[in-house]
Chains A and B, each alone.
Chain A
Amino acid sequence: QKEVEQNSGPLSVPEGAIASLNCTYSDRGSQSFFWYRQYSGKSPELIMFIYSNGDKEDGRFTAQLNKASQYVSLLIRDSQPSDSATYLCAVTPFTGGGNKLTFGTGTQLKVEL
Chain B
Amino acid sequence: DGGITQSPKYLFRKEGQNVTLSCEQNLNHDAMYWYRQDPGQGLRLIYYSQIVNDFQKGDIAEGYSVSREKKESFPLTVTSAQKNPTAFYLCASSMRRDRGNEQFFGPGTRLTVL
- Check A43–B108 contact: CB distance below 8 A: yes
Interface string of B30-55 (1 = CB under 8 A from A): 11010100001111110010110000
Which of B51, B103, B107 has the most chain A CB within a 10 Å cutoff?
B103
Interface string of A25-50 (1 = CB under 8 A from B): 00000001010100000111110010
CA distance A103 to B106 in the complex (A): 17
With beta carbons under 8 angstroms apart, the residue of A8, A42, A101 that contacts B103 is A101
- Check B50–A98 contact: CB distance below 8 A: yes
CA distance A90 to B105 in the complex (A): 13
Interface string of B69-106 (1 = CB under 8 A from A): 00000000000000000000010001111111111111
Number of chain A interface residues as a range:
20 to 34
Which of A88, A98, A104 has the most chain B CB within a 10 Å cutoff?
A98
Q: How far is the CB of B4 from chain A (nearest CB, A)?
A: 9
Q: Which residues of B contact A90 (CB under 8 A)?
A: 43, 103
- Please judge, given known A-B contacts A96-B98, A98-B30, A100-B58, whether A43 and B106 are in contact too, CB under 8 Å: yes
A-B contact pairs, 6 of them (CB 8 A): A44-B90, A45-B105, A95-B99, A95-B101, A97-B96, A98-B96
Which residues of A are at the interface with B, using a C-beta cutoff of 8 A?
Answer: 4, 8, 32, 34, 36, 42-46, 49, 51, 88, 90, 92, 94-101, 103-106
